[in-house]
Amino acid sequence: MVTVRNSTHYGIAGYYAMMALPENMIGISFTNSQPLVAPTYGRIAILGTNPIAVAAPAGHNRPYVLDMATSIVPIGRITVFQKAGKPIPEGWGVNEQGQITTDPNEVLKGGALLALGGSDIMRGYKGYGLSLLVDIFSGVLSGASFGKHVGHPNEGRPADVGHFFAAVRIDAFRDPEDFIQDMDRMLDELKNAPKAAGQERIYIHGEK
């Protein structure tokens, strides 16, 4: 495990997690970011979109690669709707009073994104918890900035973003070949599961 501080935007979270795959290890990559997300019941952005990435090797299947933000959408999606003059789906963001809004302008001007899951009734506190977890590992543990203290180059102050990386040795737990066989078995069972009406395929993270 290693942490990084005094950094900035590090690009694609999954890239770093996938670096562990050739070594038959499970890769983990977290980063915090500038505040864009309000905590559940909050009305200002305190947390970043704080992505999580995990990569695990497989055999005849593609590796499992999860790379996801802990916000319900990236801020760029709000901008797309703003430029198109369209309302955003309900549950994506709040206005400066902390109220759910479908107006992208209200989110971008004093409002905030919601965490993964959206509003409280949709259990958005789960995404809020994941975002906070990322900030603990990336910001607090590393000694970097965290929460509302993470900067942005446009603000004229250092970003001081923090990252967390881990590579888990599979052979410290079991034979790597047995692990890979079980990974393939699990992924095959998922992909071969009965499909919902109108669907032709079940995807594994990293395939689409």
CA–CA separation, 37 vs 119, rounded Å? 12
pLDDT digits (tens, 9 = 90+) for 62-121: 999 999 999 999 999 999 999 999 999 999 999 999 999 999 999 999 999 999 998 888
Q: Mean pLDDT of all residues in the chain?
A: 96
Work out the number of other CB atoms within 10 angstroms of the CB of residue 14.
21
**Model confidence pTM above 0.85:** yes
User: Strand runs (DSSP E) across the chain, as ranges?
Assistant: 2-7, 25-31, 52-56, 64-68, 93-94, 100-101, 112-113, 161-169
Work out the number of other CB atoms within 10 angstroms of the CB of residue 47.
30
- Domains within the chain, CATH numbers bracketed: 2-72+122-191 (3.30.1370.60)
